[in-house]
Structure 1
Amino acid sequence: MKFELKFDEDIFRNQMDLLRDLAWKDKIVYYKNSHFLGIFLFIIGCMLFYERPNLLGITFIIFSLGILIPYIYYYFKIKSSYKGFEAAKIKEIEANKNLIFHWEFTEQCLIEKVLDYERVFNWDDFIVYLIRDNNLLLITKNHESMILGEVEVGKENFEEIIDFVEKRNVKKNKLT
């Protein structure tokens, strides 16, 4: 199967947001909710310690810091990664405007061609595939990701590609 795909900025942005969410969404949700508990424990610990310094107040403060410190760390880490991710996305959009990508699915490999550049991935190179929001994500052993959307190839072709990938013994992620 061969596909010729013209670069579309909106599709690219949606696919990159999908990748970002796959990487960070669980941590964001966990730390978004856990910091409320940390603040609550910190306030109670301070009140207990202020009334009469004791072990219970110190314990509450220590537990709250154990919750709040990772929250603060991941807050700044995720925030900085978003900035870097947005900058990389803008660079990629500028570099790929008006390009045509060629994807070829063969029995032995997946071939991606852009201009004179060609990447060949044997099916053994892929460790997992995911289907999220009508996008097929293929992830290699080197943690490179390749994304193909149903919008780009059409519903029938998309289902055909998924069947083809399943037959190549690429493992499906259990979370889908």
Structure 2
Amino acid sequence: MKFEIPFNSQIYTEQMTLNFNTAWNKNLKNNRNRLFWAVPMIILGGLIIYGENNLGFLFMAIGIHYSINFYDYYAYYKKSKKAFFELVEKEKNGQIVANENSVLEFNDDYFSYKDYKYEAKIKWKAFKSTRIIDKNLFLDLGLGNNSSYVIGEIEIGSENFNTLIEFVKRKIV
């Protein structure tokens, strides 16, 4: 199967946002839990101190520790999000200027991708998994940086998308 897909900046932005949010979702929930622990610990510590018991300082310290960890992680998330979407914007501009179709080929032996910047031919054993999220197929490479190729149902149509999913499920085990 071979697909020539014209660049659509709205679809690209949606796919990259989905990819980013999926990657960060679990860690953001864990970070939010830090805040849920911090506030009660600080309040409890304050009440215990008010009751003239020094044990309250321990609870206050734990709550402050959770608060600092929450803030540090949140600041890191915001910085990463800004950097990621700056790259997305740069890529969108490059795609628009080049005005070339992306070509995705799904062969029995390999997956091939070509766009205005580069061309890649990747054997199926290099992929670690697939994910289908909001009618987008993610082909996840087995690399440390969570690289993925994304193709959406809106880009190739429902029938081709379903056929592609079945094909990829056979290739990536």
- 1:9 corresponding residue in structure 2: 9
For residue 146 of structure 1, the aligned residue among 139, 146, 149 is 149
SS of equivalent to 1:137: strand
TM-score by length of 1: 0.88
Write the deviation string for residues 52-99 of structure 1: whole angstroms up to 9, x where unpaired. 2412x0231233134223211111011111111121111010011122
Write the deviation string for residues 25-78 of structure 1: whole angstroms up to 9, x where unpaired. 1222332354133112112212322442412x0231233134223211111011
SS of equivalent to 1:60: helix
- 2:83 corresponding residue in structure 1: 84
Note the 1:120-135 alignment, pairs <5 A: 120-135=121-136
The two structures, once aligned, show a CA RMSD in angstroms of: 1.7
Letter in 2 for 1:126: F
Residues 116 and 15 (structure 1), Cα distance of their counterparts in 2 relative to 1, 3 Å cut = closer
Q: Distance in 1 between matches of 2:58 and 2:117?
A: 63
Asked if 1 retains the 8 angstrom alpha-carbon contact of 2:41 and 2:62, the reply is yes
Letter in 2 for 1:4: E
Q: Distance in 2 between matches of 1:50 and 1:160?
A: 67
Q: Distance in 1 between matches of 2:159 and 2:35?
A: 45
Asked if 1 retains the 8 angstrom alpha-carbon contact of 2:95 and 2:116, the reply is no
* Structure 2 alignment gaps of length 5 or more: none
Q: Distance in 1 between matches of 2:126 and 2:63?
A: 44
Pairwise CA distance, 1:115: 4.2
For residue 162 of structure 2, the aligned residue among 159, 162, 165 is 159
Letter in 2 for 1:58: F
Note the 1:6-155 alignment, pairs <5 A: 6-55=6-55, 57-97=56-96, 98-115=99-116, 117-142=118-143, 143-155=146-158
SS of equivalent to 2:32: helix
Letter in 2 for 1:118: E
* Structure 1 alignment gaps of length 5 or more: 172-176
Asked if 1 retains the 8 angstrom alpha-carbon contact of 2:34 and 2:69, the reply is no
- 1:174 corresponding residue in structure 2: none
SS of equivalent to 2:122: strand
Stretch of structure 1 that moved more, 138-147 or 66-75: 66-75
Stretch of structure 1 that moved more, 39-48 or 98-107: 39-48
